Structure formats: C-alpha cells, structure tokens
Structure 1
Amino acid sequence: MRIAQIAPLHESVPPKFYGGTERVVSWLTEELVRRGHEVTLFASGDSQTQAQLIPFRDQALRLDKNAIDTVAPHILMVEKVFQKADQFDLIHGHIDYYPYALARRHPEVAFVTTLHGRLDIPELQPLYSEFSDIPLVSISNAQRNPLPQARWAGTVYHGLPLDLHPFYPEQGNYLAFLGRVSPEKGLDTAIEIATQAGMPLKASIKIDQVDRQYYESYIYPMIRDNPQVELLGEINEQEKSEFLGKAYAVLFPIRWPEPFGLVMIESMACGTPVIATRFGSVPEVMVHGETGFIVDSVPEAVEAVSKVGSLSRQRVRQVFEERFSVARMVSDYETIYAQLLESRGTTPAQAKMTAA
C-alpha cells in the first residue's frame, strides 16, 4: 500500500526526549516500511525515518524558541498532504481534527485518524457530530466513551519494538515516576505514596510552561525538604531503559482519563511492575496482580508497594511481549487499512498493483 503518515510537528519523529505520539508514529512508520509498504512521512525536518520524509519546518516546534503559532504549520502541512492525495492509497493522520474538512473533500483517497489525546472536552461534541463520517481509531476502548457518535473503525493498543527496552531481571530499590508535571499526572500523589512507603522516589519530569506555576507553588514545596525524592530532567530512550528497568516499581497515579499511557508498557518491557490508579485505559493495559496493581487510593498504593516483591518480573515482560509488541500494533493497523480500502471497493492487493 501507498500510505501517508501525518505526524504532529511539536516534536521530531522519533522525539529526542518527551513525545508519546511522535514515538508511536515512528514505530508504526518503520515497521510498515519493513513490511514492504510505500510510506511517506509528513513531519518536522529533524525527523529520522526509512520512509520518504516530506519535512515541514527545519526543527520541531517545541525546540524552536521563535515558534509562536503552532496551529498554522499544521494547517499548511495538511493542505500540502492533500495536494498529493492522488499519490496515496490511504492517509493516516495523527493530528486530531485538522485534516477532517479536506479529507471529506478528497474521496479519491482513504483516510483515517488515530486519536491520541483526551476526548472528554465539551467543544469536541458538535465537531464529532458533524464529522461522524470520518473513520477514527482509538488507542483504548475507554478513550471512546465521551464520543459514542463518532465513526470508530477500531481500537489499536500501542506497541513497542521488542528490543527497544531490555529486560531487567533484578528488582531495584527505588520507585520511579516518568511524565509531565501537571495535576492530572499525579506527581504529588507519587511523592505521597513513596513517602508513606518509606522508599526513595526518582522522578524524570517534563515541565511545560503552562505547568510552571503548579510546579513552583505545589510540587517544589513538597520536595524541598524531602530527601527521599530526586527530580531528574527529561531523559532519552537509552536512559529511560535503565531508569525504568532498575526501579522496584513504577508509579502511575493518574487522576484523569488517560487514553493509553505509554509508560505502563515501557515499564512492562523492562520487567518492572506498575502501580497505577483506576482511570482511563489503566484496566485495559494492566493485568492486576501480574503486571502490577491497580489501586483506588494512596493507602492501597502503599499496600501495593509492599506486595511488589511477590510478582514475577519475567511474567511482567512476558505479558508485554504477548500484548504490546510493535508487530501486533502494525498488524492491527493493516487490518483496519484493508477494511477501509475494501469498503471503497479496493483491496490491498489492488492498491499494491496501483502503486506498481
């Protein structure tokens, strides 16, 4: 198939540090190329890929201190993508609703969007009622709940390359937190859990400008005189393996409807159990009592810390390999691609002939 992937421009593909969506787009794109598809990636110019890269901007938006309007580059990119629509069998968007109006006006090409973010936002209701003809992919079944009127083509859980994070068989001696410093991510809860459990907490964090005041007024006072907590900055993929793999457990105490939560499967890839709160996708991703524990309160989380030693790190890794490989993810997407083409009267085999 001739497939276009539209990536966000906020980070490169793959991202140098934080950037879950761009990381998933990279894994998907490279595996599609490996399987013989003709893939074109629309992304920032500092991206790295085996696909044909059509760059927009020399540098990802978050790293460009001169970038002010982050919407305009995405609108321009979408226009350029659909100017080339007749060169593709299918266009796969990862930038939410920006392409919908153009996709509706280009029936010559199949189109699908994976939604990577939260959908419980009031302004999205009329938008998805209007664009109920646009095929969508959710990254968990829980993510769909706010938008039952949307045209859901399927749910595809994220997957990682099996060799991305090595297995760490030995249990570490600290709790780990990885994520943005924002109220919904629960760093404050992680600090509370670690403090009550009497264990060190290492937190690799990203602080967006919008969350700077929250950090300074709420998080910093919690850690200022707390020797148990060590704050680290953003880390790259290699550093992440060691950070997660050498942890006793990873804390994922979210308090929002997380659509997926990559850190859970990244931890599982290392064999490290996860202690997570029961929100969003957590019950779909986690296997309670095998890959970690799903909890509903800080006392339950503290109790779960004491139970982590009873879990098999080998089993944690095994569940990851069975459920969250990039091969499984891409096979799921290929199935959806084929269904979309067949609904238009084109089979994948015919698409390949057209490409030839």
Structure 2
Amino acid sequence: MKIAIVSTPFVSVPPLKYGGTELFISHLTEKLIDRGHNITLFATGDSKSRAELEFLFPKGQWPINQMDELSHIAFSAKRIQGMDDIDIVHINSPYALPFANMLGVPTVVTLHHPRTQDFSSLYLQYPDANFVAISQSQRQGEVALPNMSVIHHGLDPNAYPPSEHPQNYVAFLGRLAPEKGPDSAIRAAQLAMTPIKLAGSVHWVDNDFYNDHLRSLLLKPNVQWVGEVDHVQKVALLQGAQALLVPIRWEEPFGLVIIEAMLCGTPVIAFRRGSVPELVEEGVTGFLVDSEKEMAEVIKNKLDKFNRAICRKRAVERFSTNTMVAQYENLFQSLVQKNRKETFSRRAPSHQAASIS
C-alpha cells in the first residue's frame, strides 16, 4: 500500500525529547516500511525517517499554535491531492478531519486527545471517517461513532533494553503538570523513605503549579530533578529505577511512558485512572493504587521480589510495534479493499451500458 501519514508541526519525528504522538508515529512509520509499504510522512523538516518526507516547517513549531497546525494540515492535504496513487491517509489531529474529507481516499484518524465537547461534535460531522481510539477507556468515554477501533500503542522493544539490577531510587517521567502528579510522586517516595529522580519539563501553562506547589518539593532531600531527557537518558533512568510512579489526576487516554517502563522490566505503580487499569497488570507489570499512602506501601513492601524479566516479557507480548502495526495494517488493508470494491461497483453500470450499445 501507499500510505500518507500526517504528523504534527510541533515536534520532529521521532521527538528528540518530549512528544508522545510523534514517537508513536515514528514507530508506526518505520515498521510499516519494514513490512513493505510505501510511506509519505508529512512532518517537520528536522524529522528522521526512511519514509519520503514532506514538510512545510523546517523545524518543530513550539509552543503549540493552532494556526501552525492548520497551515501544516492544509499543506499536507494539498500535496496528497496531487498524488494519484495514495491508497489511504492516516491523520493524527482532529483539525485535519475537514481536509481529509476532500481527499477522495479512505482516512484513518487516531485519537490522541482526551474527550472535549468541541472535538466530539467535530467527529460526529464526519461519520465516514475511520477512528482509532488508543484505549478502551478512551473509546468508552468518547461519543458513539459508527467506525471506531481500539489499537493500543506499541514501541520497539529493541529500543528499551531490560535491566535486572535497579538502583536505589524510584522515577517520575513526564510533564511537570498538575494532571501528571509529580508532587504526589515526591510525597509518596518521601513516605517510603526512597530517593526519587524526576525527568521532565515545566510547560508555560503550568508555571503557577510549579511555583505554588512543586518548587519547594523539588528542594527536599533525596529528590533529584534531572530536567528534560533524550531517549538514551530516558532509558537509563527507567532501567535504573525500582519503579516508575504514575500518580495521574486525569483520565489519561494511554501514557506511552507506562509501556516504556514495562519494556525495561521496570514496574509501574499508578493511580487507577483513565487507561491505566487496562495497561498495568497487577503484580505482573506493576501495581494499581488509589492514594499516595498506598503508593508508598507498594514501594516499601512489593518491589524486592518483583520479577522484572516477566514484566518485560509481558510488555513485549502486549505492546510491541509488531503487535500494534499488524492491527493498523489489517485496518488499512480492509479499508483499501472496501474502497476499491465500492469504486468498481460505481463504475460497473456504465461499462455494462457501453458494451450493450
């Protein structure tokens, strides 16, 4: 198949540091190429991919600006319209739906966002689009749509070598934002009397949270903030951690960091919110808790005997790129075949009429 994949204009593919959507797109793109498909990737000019790269912006446009996103999508749609042999388009932004409807080929839309009324109303205007939720939790919380699948994200296990010998710390990895709960992670680690390392940055929208609630906690003993990390630093952090703490305060649709930790063999201790209960298997890949106190109890009492090899094995089974890409490939192929049949049936009557005359 010849597939057009439209990323965002905000971060390169793959991202150098922050960028969950772009990381997913990178793994999907490269594995589809491995499986023999021809991919045109619409991303930023500083992206690194074996796909044919098309871009409007030479580098990522940060911070996020919706006008940049619309310009990027309009550019992508115009270029796709000029390609006669594109079989299917895969988009990763709700804002691309009005443009995708004009392309004349099947469109798949992966939903990366939590539900908002604006997005849900937009989805209902395009019932012919094919939506992919990234978790059952996300699908159940979204408006009912006629064409919606669920495909969990997957990552390349080779990019996350396992570690059997953790060091004396727990980790937090992600934006230092209230919904991610870095303050809860610090308090839980302090209750457990265990050092904690935090990796991530403060986005401008979270400055008040940082100043009012987080800054003083980051100065406490045995708390180390290492800032934003690249892939190599991230893997090293996860490999060395006794556990990854995920005390989220929102209905997170997925959370790639969860499977990144599991692939390293590192258990995830997470609040029971959003997609977490369908990602974390109790006692196998991590532990589900409902409070900072419970999180601290797990840190103190359940990590010494945790089997990191089994954690890694189960994560590979459920969340590898092979598993994810096989599902996307099947979806793409079924939609392309359906479109070809419908196109043939529309043309058939005129051919029959011509032969009779």
CA displacement 1:16-63 (0-9 Å, x = unmatched): 111010011011101111111011000000001101001221111128
> How many angstroms apart in 2 are the aligned matches of 1:209 and 1:247?
28
1:327 aligns with 2:322: yes
Q: CA deviation at 1:85?
A: 5.0
Match of residue 39 from structure 1: 39
Aligned equivalent of 2:225, options 210, 231, 234: 231
1:113 aligns with 2:91: no
CA displacement 1:266-295 (0-9 Å, x = unmatched): 101111111011111111111111111011
Moved over 4 A (4+): none
> How many angstroms apart in 1 are the aligned matches of 2:9 and 2:103?
23
Match of residue 255 from structure 1: 249
Match of residue 89 from structure 1: 87
> What is the identity, as a one-letter code, of the residue corresponding to 1:283?
P
Match of residue 100 from structure 1: 97
Match of residue 352 from structure 1: none
Aligned equivalent of 2:262, options 233, 244, 268: 268
> How many angstroms apart in 2 are the aligned matches of 1:251 and 1:217?
22
1:15 aligns with 2:15: yes
> How many angstroms apart in 2 are the aligned matches of 1:85 and 1:138?
28
Match of residue 56 from structure 2: 56
Asked if structure 1 preserves the Cα contact closer than 8 Å seen for 2:169 and 2:194, the reply is yes
> How many angstroms apart in 1 are the aligned matches of 2:120 and 2:30?
34
1:6 aligns with 2:6: yes
> How many angstroms apart in 2 are the aligned matches of 1:62 and 1:53?
20
> How many angstroms apart in 1 are the aligned matches of 2:70 and 2:7?
14
Q: Once structures 1 and 2 are overlaid, which stretch shifts more, 38-47 or 149-158?
A: 149-158
**Secondary structure of 1:316's match?**
helix
**Secondary structure of 1:62's match?**
coil
The structure whose Rg is larger is 2
> How many angstroms apart in 2 are the aligned matches of 1:63 and 1:242?
27
Match of residue 350 from structure 2: none
Match of residue 217 from structure 1: 212
> What is the identity, as a one-letter code, of the residue corresponding to 1:112?
V
Q: CA deviation at 1:316?
A: 0.6
What TM-score do you get using the length of structure 1 for normalisation?
Answer: 0.91
Match of residue 28 from structure 2: 28
> How many angstroms apart in 2 are the aligned matches of 1:85 and 1:143?
33
Aligned equivalent of 1:300, options 294, 299, 304: 294
> How many angstroms apart in 2 are the aligned matches of 1:166 and 1:181?
26
**Secondary structure of 1:150's match?**
coil
> How many angstroms apart in 2 are the aligned matches of 1:57 and 1:296?
43
Give the root-mean-square deviation of aligned CA atoms: 1.8
Q: CA deviation at 1:69?
A: 4.2
> How many angstroms apart in 2 are the aligned matches of 1:111 and 1:81?
15
Q: CA deviation at 1:345?
A: 3.5
Unaligned runs of 5+ in 2: 343-357
Match of residue 282 from structure 1: 276
Asked if structure 1 preserves the Cα contact closer than 8 Å seen for 2:242 and 2:267, the reply is yes
CA displacement 1:189-238 (0-9 Å, x = unmatched): 101101111001100012111112211121002223x1121111111111
Match of residue 156 from structure 1: 151
CA displacement 1:280-339 (0-9 Å, x = unmatched): 111111111111101111121111112122210001101111111111111010111122
Aligned equivalent of 1:77, options 64, 71, 75: 75
Match of residue 147 from structure 1: 142
CA displacement 1:152-211 (0-9 Å, x = unmatched): 431111111121011101132101000001111000110110111100110001211111
> How many angstroms apart in 2 are the aligned matches of 1:189 and 1:281?
19
% identical aligned pairs: 39
How many residue pairs match? The answer is 341
Q: CA deviation at 1:68?
A: 9.0
CA distance 1:125–1:24, shift in 2 (3 Å):
closer
What TM-score do you get using the length of structure 2 for normalisation?
Answer: 0.91
Asked if structure 1 preserves the Cα contact closer than 8 Å seen for 2:258 and 2:268, the reply is yes
